[in-house]
Amino acid sequence: MPVRSAPYVKLVTVLSIILFSIVGGIFFQISLSHYKHDAQDLAQYDAFFYSKKLSEIVAENLAATVQIADFIRFNRGASDGFEPYADLVLRRYPYVDRLVLIPNGVITNIHPLEGHESAIGINVFGNEVLRSKALIDHNLNTPSVSAPVPVIDNSIAMGTRVSVMIKDQAKEDVFWGFVASAMGVTHLIESSGLVEFTKQGFEFQLSEYRKQEGYVVISQTDGFIKENSIQLELALPGTRWFLFVSPKGTWVSKQTTYSLGFAVAFVVMLLSGISYLIARKFFERSVQASLVEQKTKEAEITLERLSNTLDAIPDYLVEVNDEGVVAENHYSSERELMKWLPLHPGEWVVDCLSEESMLAWGQAMKTAFLDGVSTGLSFRVELDEDEKWFELSAVYTAPDDLKGRAAFYLFLVRDVTERIKNEAELRISAIAFETQDAILITDQHNRIIRVNNAFEAITGYSESEVYGKNPAIISSGRHDRNFYRKLYQSLNNIGHWEGEIWNRKKDGTVFPEWLYITAIKDEEERLLHYVATFRDITQDKNNQQRIEQLNYYDALTRLPNKTLFLEELEHRLDVMSEIRYRRSAILYLDLDNFKDLNDYYGHKQGDLLLKQVASRLVDIVRPQDTVARLSADNFVILLEDADVSVNPERASYRAKHVATKILDELKHPFVPGAHELVITASIGMTEFGADTPEHTSEDIVKQAEMAMYEAKQAGRAQSCFYQPKMHERVVQRVYFETSLREALSKEQFSLHYQPQFDVNKKLVGVEALIRWNHPENGLVPPGEFIPFAEESKLIIKIGEWVLMKACQVKADWLKHDAFRDINMSINVSALQFSQDNFVEQVRHALDQSGVNPNTIELELTESMLVNDQDDVIRKMQSLKALGVLISLDDFGTGYSSLSYLTRLPIDQLKIDQSFVSSFSEGSRESTIAASIINIGHNLNMEVIAEGVEQQSQFEWLKSQGCDLFQGYGLARPMPEEDLLSLLSQ
């Protein structure tokens, strides 16, 4: 020890401190315990007041429940008038939130009901959570209080419940059910004033004690600590509540603890100081003797430390006198500096240094002379094509004559070459750091230490807001733990990770970014930093989405288009090919007569109609089903696949069910604009599954489309399932369509003529009937190819050819006197008649042939009268103006409205052969035929009957006044040469 008497002084001082500290500690603990008990007593008193308030609120809830129970007993179990009475009770007891009736354990009435509609119908005896408590209340037949009670809206409530018994006809008590009240826990806490308790510096926990579960928390503050709390018990019906109270922090305030501790410590230190002074005075002489020896040793140690310090400093120390001569230098371990700065003692500084270096030294000496010190000057030294940078600091010491000290400069020279290089690299890095991509750097503990301007611009966070925080501050919450686990596995294994991720901006906006993270490690593979760069790819995603929308979605309805639908169907086929007993179905829907509506109301209304149809289809099907728009008015629906292992018809049943729903829904009018529109649809359906692996998506859609056409042919506004024979019909239709086009171009058609006779069986007219002279199949009757001609709309061209050909033939017959007065009947299809230029076609045929119009009779069918009668009338009047005759074919089988007969310029009615072929006197058919004859004659029309095959039919029709006759019983259709031969006979 430096002073021999010091141990004795220290011993006395330490013993004094120990003794006084023990006494002070005991006093401190006694005083602290006294303060704690006072604080607990005050809290116990205040808590008693709040517990009393809680008991009153619970009692008020129970009283309201009892009043409702009395109401039920008084009404002998009837709940009529419950709402107004409950409203009165709630006004009387404002602490009650709602009242509930539970007859036979089933919730039937809640007042007020808003927000609790889903609770109606819950059976408390059938609910696993509610059953046990309900059975106890029922068996004990006593009021009960329970909390916390989970409510349907996910809130927590306090509830009271009373078991209600009513007298039956035998005057015996019968269990009716429960009456309950509920009060939200939040409302309960606020009403009791416990919130104010927290403002006084306390935390609390309100709990219900249950035998099996122990203490169940009703409500508690975030800072509550049960181990540091006091408790009060609230005795309630059927349960026990406990109110636990703890302080925010400790029972004794920090200020009181610190003040008491400071006072005790001050007294201890004061007494210990007095003891120290007494001991020091006692040993003062010994201390003075030892002081000189101690100071001497301290000086030696100081000199040794100073020498070691100078050796440890890597800088170059140079002392220069006021004349500029080097007095001393100290290079320590960096002897290499001597070749760069050869400043030898006794030499002039200006002779040792270069001119560039001397400028810095001269400036440093000038500044140090004026200010006493100079720092921060740098200069460069070149040597053997190498260079170093040095930083120069200088201190000037003025002369002191009293001490005999001359003036001198002390220079400190430091090699800063590496620092200059690092600063240059940092400047380059700083420029690179401020790119358009955001950059985020964290330390090894994943705390943010640096971000660039692009990060601030993209996220909205400044560097100060995120410094020291985890990058999770911008997490979007869209990725689960497994995603981040794989991300950090990649960082740990290969040192980087790259990919798309969703993050959140400061304003809450979630955005996609392309992220690249690199783990920075030192030479020993220890983690130093994470560097993350990312860019906002929202625009890229939007562009990609727009491209995908254009490629895969219909622009009008926003439904998947044909491309996306076929891809989805192909994917479904791939999945189902590996799963047995799974089948699905698609529905192909075509709107009936949509083109007519579109043409009449305009394309804008048509587009709105398509959008509304698409919306209804999406609403009808399930979310797992896919609705797509293939083309103009064609929609297709892919149903979710079903397990058919038990019921093989399940997929087809589902398809039929959806088709029926669609057809029913389309019966409701659409309002795409100012007009209400009703449109029907034809639906084709087909099934597919693992048992049809050879079918492609195109095949399946084509099958459904075939079925759709079958539904149209069956009368439209209905659905039809695909059958293999439909494919054969399609093949046949394609064959006929191709062959019919070829027949038109190669003039393979010809006309046959069926004679028409008067009552004397005199030939007065002929009906032109088309025949197809097929090069391979011979003569093809019209019944085989006309339906296909109508489907392909080739009937328009064929009908135009028949019109022109018949007029030309009739004009040629004018050369024969026998044919001069014979009429030529020409059939006109509904599709041909609907053409806007049909009247022009007739005029052109008449003009080109030169035939007498009065000998040409156009046969129109009743079906064409159904649509636009005004347009039909205008066309007929135009035809009559040309001079041609008009015959109404198939009368009695179609529209058959007598009103149009009075409006249309018809010359002839033709009785359909269906009434003639099944004719028998007195039958219904004969009655209809007679009526048609009478109607025609009353309207000044000629009547002709077709399909006359028997003499009896001819005689009966003749007796009824029929004018003309036609049929196989009189003459079959024949070529022109046979007809000429017949006339010559």
Q: Check if the beta carbon of residue 592 is closer than 8 Å to that of residue 605.
A: no
Question: What CATH superfamily classification does 553-722 receive?
Answer: Reverse transcriptase/Diguanylate cyclase domain (3.30.70.270)
Neighbours of 859 (CB within 10 A): 19
Segment 773-787, tens digit of pLDDT: 988 888 888 888 888
Per-residue model confidence as pLDDT tens digits over 93-103? 888 888 899 89
Strand pairing category for 885-891 and 908-911: parallel
Of the listed ranges 256-265, 478-487, 506-515, the least confidently predicted one is 256-265
Cβ(189)–Cβ(203) under 8 Å?
no
More confident residue, 448 or 386: 448
pLDDT at res. 182: 87
Write down the pLDDT at residue 1: 40
Instruction: Give the residues across from 475 on adjacent strands.
Output: 503
Report yes or no: 650 and 581 within 8 Å, Cβ to Cβ.
no
- Give the separation between CA 64 and CA 18, rounded to whole angstroms: 67
By the 8 A CB rule, do 798 and 841 touch? Answer: no
**What is the band of 756 on the pLDDT scale with cuts at 50, 70, 90?**
very high
User: Cα–Cα distance between 103 and 112 in angstroms, integer?
Assistant: 18
pLDDT at position 305, please? 67
**Distance from CA of residue 680 to its chain's centroid?**
33
Say yes or no to pLDDT of 549 above 70: no
Q: What CATH number was assigned to the domain covering residues 313-421?
A: 3.30.450.20
Tokens of 790: 């109508």
Q: What is the mean pLDDT of residues 859-875?
A: 78
Calculate the alpha carbon distances from 767 to 763, 820, 828 in Å: 11, 15, 12
Query: Which residues are bridge partners to 685 per DSSP?
Result: 587, 721
**Mean per-residue pLDDT, 906-923:** 80
Q: Which two tokens stand for residue 608?
A: 């709105």
Which whole-number Å values give the CA distances from 818 to 44, 757, 805, 856, 981, in the listed order? 132, 14, 20, 16, 11
Average pLDDT over residues 876-903: 80
pLDDT of 857 strictly over 90: yes
What pLDDT, on the 0 to 100 scale, is given for residue 919? 65
Helix (H) or strand (E) holding 142: none
Cβ neighbours, 10 Å, residue 533: 20
pLDDT, greater one: 733 or 797: 797
Q: CA 965, CA 323: separation in Å to the nearest integer?
A: 151
Q: CA–CA separation, 60 vs 54, rounded Å?
A: 10
pLDDT at 963: 95
CATH class of 434-542: alpha beta
pLDDT at 547 over 90: no
pTM: 0.41
Record the tokens describing residue 18, joined without a space.
Answer: 């120990």
pLDDT band, residue 897 (cuts 50/70/90): low
Higher pLDDT, 705 or 433: 705
pLDDT in tens, 929-965: 888 899 899 989 999 999 999 998 999 999 999 999 9
Q: Is the dihedral of CA 5, 8, 14, 20 positive or negative?
A: negative
- The residues near 695 (Cβ < 8 Å, ≥ 6 apart) are 573, 688, 703
Question: Does 376 have pLDDT greater than 80?
Answer: no
Question: How many C-alpha atoms does 647 have within 13 Å on its Cβ side?
Answer: 8
Q: Which two tokens stand for residue 455?
A: 């990060």
For 315, phi and psi rounded to 5 degrees? -80, 160
Structure tokens belonging to residue 28: 């401190």
Fold of the domain built from segment(s) 747-984:
TIM Barrel (3.20.20)
The dihedral region occupied by 560, where left means phi > 0, alpha psi between -120 and 50, and beta the remainder, is beta
Residue 130 in this model has a pLDDT that exceeds 50 = yes
pLDDT above 70: residue 154: no
Same CATH fold assignment for domains 434-542 and 553-722: no
Half-sphere exposure of 404 (CA within 13 A, CB side): 0
Give mean pLDDT, residues 494-500.
91
Exposure of 40 by Cβ count < 10 A (0-12 exposed, 13-18 middle, 19+ buried)? middle
List, for residues 320-364, the tens digit of each pLDDT value.
Answer: 887 888 877 776 555 566 667 777 788 888 788 887 788 888 888
Tokens of 56: 């009153």
- Taking the C-alpha atoms of residue 741 and residue 352, their distance in angstroms, rounded to an integer, is 112
Least trusted range by pLDDT, from 195-204, 682-691, 860-869: 860-869
Q: So what's the pLDDT on residue 289?
A: 56
Topology of domain 33-247 in CATH is: Beta-Lactamase (3.30.450)
pLDDT at 2 over 60: no
Distance CA 435, CA 430 (A): 9
Q: How confident is the model at residue 3 (pLDDT cuts 50, 70, 90)?
A: very low
The encoded tokens of residue 480 equal 């689960």
Q: Please check the confidence at residue 885 and state whether its pLDDT lies above 80.
A: yes
Map out the domains of the chain as residue ranges.
33-247, 313-421, 434-542, 553-722, 747-984
Query: Average pLDDT, stretch 867-896?
Result: 82
